[in-house]
Chain A
Amino acid sequence: EVHLVDSGGGLAQPGGSLRLSCAASGFTFSSYGMAWVRQAPGKGLEWVSAIDGSTGTTYYADSVRGRFTISRDNSKSRLYLEMSSLRAEDTALYYCARAYYWYYFDFWGQGALVTVSS
């Protein structure tokens, strides 16, 4: 059974950094692209970043490019999101998701809450 468990959320100051982690199990992690999708309180979903399973090629939304870094450790079946230069508008619940196809997320984590506030 596929499981994705998000962790690492918390409170960060504006301009600060935080690292999210997603532990995957129940499938061959390296065979799938993975993504981060966020949802600000009371708002809609926003695609943040994605990474290819085998090549490690990364992609970012304009809103986070240059500040966030997605990475993965296939040996540990873990996905990461390193967030720096955090802004109040980065406050959101961050979900990791498995990309069955690049454009289709078939399994989601439970989300990790990031709050950016002084």
Chain B
Amino acid sequence: EAEVAQSPRYKITEKSQAVAFWCDPISGHATLYWYRQILGQGPELLVQFQDESVVDDSQLPKDRFSAERLKGVDSTLKIQPAELGDSAMYLCASRTDSSHSGANVLTFGAGSRLTVL
């Protein structure tokens, strides 16, 4: 069964340090999302890509967060500098295309859990 790959699974860092997360979506999935999920809350969209283009990054704290998907395949999310409030699960998800027909469900990766000390 095809999966969304994410790494690292766990990351512990000190505040003010830089951290990066990587995501490889299911092959052929043009649409890729980065979400942040704080314990006990639902996922919060950070950025949406369609191929290599950013579709929505309105909720991305651009002073410290950046995301890229240079070749329209895998993607990297970076935080620099990390703050205590960034401690959360960072989830990557993908789906086949931007079509709005039917369910066109998201498939999530296992996530990267970040702890900032």
Do A and B interact? no
A contact set with B: CB distance below 8 Å: none
